[in-house]
Amino acid sequence: MDYTQFLDSNSINWDYTKIMDICKISYILDRFSIEENDTILDVGTGTGMLIPFVRQHNPKGNIKGVDKSIHMINIAKEKFKNVQNVEFQLADVESDDIKGTFDKIILFSVFPLLNNKIATIKKLIENNLSDGGKLLIAHPESRKSLNSHIGTRASVYAPKLLDIYQQRNLFRKAGLYVEEAFENDRIYYLILHK
């Protein structure tokens, strides 16, 4: 079973099995400095679980969620059908072109699932991030905790997270500007700048 099949088969119960830590999410989004009327791309949006938190920081800005699971996107569309300035696109960011440019791009709990991490982040920054925009890679748990359960579900999950400084250095070697890189026993995030 590949990861898209895993998502599709678990989409109905996704919102009921995932616990969102409001304090951690708020802290990470505060560090990301979302501004009023920012256009935001939520990569790997799933059922749109992060969108209410993003809207608290930017209630009037446009948010686009993309995911490669048709079932996840359909659930997200249904959940947000009466919410203005929110749209969804079925897309694999590694192989499909995402239309539009955005002030902020968020990859929340999705980065380890990318097959070509550096190339995908570079493509998103070059093609979809507006001048002066920022891209966030974040996890609301520690690298150690995340890596301990990656690969335990029938090899569905992708390779483990690297030490934050190793990952930062790989981005820098690829010509990408890392504004901030941080991890502790509770969270992991990097902010890249165009």
Mean pLDDT within 42-47? 94
Q: Which two tokens stand for residue 139?
A: 């996890």
1 pLDDT exceeds 50? no
Q: What share of the chain is helix, strand, coil (3-state, %, to 5)?
A: 35, 25, 40
CA gap 194, 188 in Å, rounded: 21
Does the structure show a pLDDT above 60 at 39?
A: yes
95: buried, middle or exposed (CB in 10 Å: 19+, 13-18, 0-12)?
Answer: exposed
Average pLDDT of span 10-36 = 75
Q: What tens digit of pLDDT does each residue of 126-172 get?
A: 999 999 999 999 998 889 888 886 655 544 555 688 999 999 999 99
| pLDDT 10s digits, 85-113 | 999 999 999 999 999 999 999 999 999 88
pTM for this model (two decimals): 0.87
Distance between terminal CA atoms of the chain? Answer: 36
- Who contacts 19 (Cβ-Cβ below 8 Å, separation ≥6)? none
Whether pLDDT at 12 is above 70: no
Cα torsion angle, 148, 153, 154, 159, sign: negative
Q: What 8-state DSSP symbol labels residue 97?
A: P
What does the pLDDT average to over 1-14? Answer: 48
> CA 60 to CA 70: how far, in whole Å?
26
Pairing of strands 188-193, 129-139: antiparallel
Q: Choose among 145, 146, 159: nearest CA to 117.
A: 159
User: Domain 3-193 adopts which CATH fold?
Assistant: Rossmann fold (3.40.50)
State the Cα–Cα distance between residues 16 and 107, nearest whole angstrom. Answer: 21
The domain limits of the chain are 3-193
Q: How far apart are CA 63 and CA 99, in angstroms?
A: 13
Q: What is the pLDDT of residues 118-139, one digit of tens each?
A: 999 999 999 999 999 999 999 9
